[in-house]
Amino acid sequence: MTVAKGREFLSIPGPTNVPDAVLAAMQRPAIDIYSGEMIGITDSCLADLKELFRTRGRTYIYAANGHGGWEAAASNVLSRGDTVLVLESGRFALGWGEMAKMMGVEMEVLKGDWRRAVDPAAVTERLKRDKAHAIKALLIAQIDTASGVANDIAAIRMAMDAAKHPALLMVDCVASLGCMPFDMDGWGVDVAMAGSQKGLMTPPGLAFVAANDRARQVHKSAGLRTLYWDWTFREGEMHYQKYCGTPPEHLLFALRKAIDLLKEEGLPAAIRRHELLAEATRSAVAKWAEGQVLTFNITNPTERANSITCVLMQGRDPQPLLDYAREKCGVVLGVGLGDLDGKAFRIAHMGHTNAPMVLGTLGAVEMGLKALGIPHGSGGVQTAVEYLGREVRP
């Protein structure tokens, strides 16, 4: 027996739920790539992305996924033989570093703990030892989707300044843009990148990069530039240069609509919504954790991300729970990645998400815990309901 009919709940950390209005915006014929409408969409999206990243620098849109955004960022500011320092706190900054390594860059990893945010003091300590300034850039994920950590980017910049180190600060915002505050200029971030399919509620296939003046200065002499990713080429006057070829029109129609929805809600309200739904999720997990099997992957409550919660299962394979949620309830949860493969599951509360989706997902998890006889504190969903009932006033 299953109770899985009806709309499937995709509770994985990307791609996330695409609003019907965004899907509908794609339901139209292709248009003239030289038309005023197409140029207007490009210009307005580039401008709105500046607001989302909070920068007066330049923004670029690529027909690519997040990995493409990583390559775009790396190729525009790095040269063969440069060293990048990867600030580990999960899987994603490492992936970015590995990509740079294959391009001919030396990758050094500032070893981190998958259960903690990056330690700013360790960053200062490492940079102080780099007297020759061999390290050209630091790579960090604001939210690491594998571990569920949220890093303090402003603190990382302060840690770099404390060491008086000139490296570029490069931040992966794929799982955080539109979900939590980001202040590129205010925090002194030189290069930021994101993707369309997480907090930005758009189908996968677009990557965004933002660069400040410092990064654009370094770009001038970067040795790894290629035409497709190249900022200078994309800053050209001709519209086709903005995409180095045909614009990914339908994804841009979708992006335009998704950003309109975000503006309608208001970015601060969207950020607050993520905070509330994340805290509701955490209140349920905290209740379940009383059974001594489930626990938060991120140990320090202030370092837990508002777009994803990673739940460790101590001494238990999470797969039966994932299978139960999918097959019996129609809820797709995220698997554990990398070091957490077979040890954790992840609940996304990112992008186009509301209370019933999160409470429904939590309900399916608790149902699975009961059905599979996994020890847990009962009433996690009730705790989440009560939390939201207190916080979301009439």
Ligand X SMILES: *Cc1c(COP(=O)(O)O)cnc(C)c1O
Q: Which residues bind ligand X (CB under 6 A)?
A: 14, 65-67, 92, 141, 144-145, 172, 174-175, 195, 198, 204
Nearer to ligand X (CB atom), residue 67 or residue 343: 67
Closest approach, Cβ 93 to ligand X, in A, equals: 8
Nearer to ligand X (CB atom), residue 65 or residue 361: 65
How far is CA 227 from each of CA 17, 125, 144, 230, 390, rounded to the nearest angstrom? 33, 37, 30, 5, 54
Instruction: Please give the structure tokens belonging to residue 127.
Output: 């940079």
The residue nearest ligand X at its CB is 66
Closest approach, Cβ 355 to ligand X, in A, equals: 23
Closest approach, Cβ 90 to ligand X, in A, equals: 8
DSSP string, 313-354: ETTS-SHHHHHHIIIII-EEEEEP-GGGTTTEEEEE--SS--
Name beta bridge partners: 260. none
Nearer to ligand X (CB atom), residue 127 or residue 348: 348
Spell out the long-range contacts of 128-134 with Cβ–Cβ below 8 A and sequence spacing 24 or more. 128/163, 128/165, 130/165, 133/165, 133/166, 133/167, 134/82, 134/83
Name beta bridge partners: 137. 84, 168
Nearer to ligand X (CB atom), residue 204 or residue 379: 204
Closest approach, Cβ 67 to ligand X, in A, equals: 4
Name beta bridge partners: 61. 208
Nearer to ligand X (CB atom), residue 57 or residue 195: 195
DSSP-based three-state secondary structure for 60: strand
Closest approach, Cβ 150 to ligand X, in A, equals: 11
Name beta bridge partners: 9. 331
Order the strands of the 83-87 sheet from edge to edge: 58-63, 206-211, 191-195, 168-172, 135-141, 83-87, 106-110
Closest approach, Cβ 259 to ligand X, in A, equals: 18
User: Pairing state of beta strands 149-150 and 143-144?
Assistant: antiparallel
Nearer to ligand X (CB atom), residue 25 or residue 174: 174
Nearer to ligand X (CB atom), residue 67 or residue 272: 67
Closest approach, Cβ 1 to ligand X, in A, equals: 35
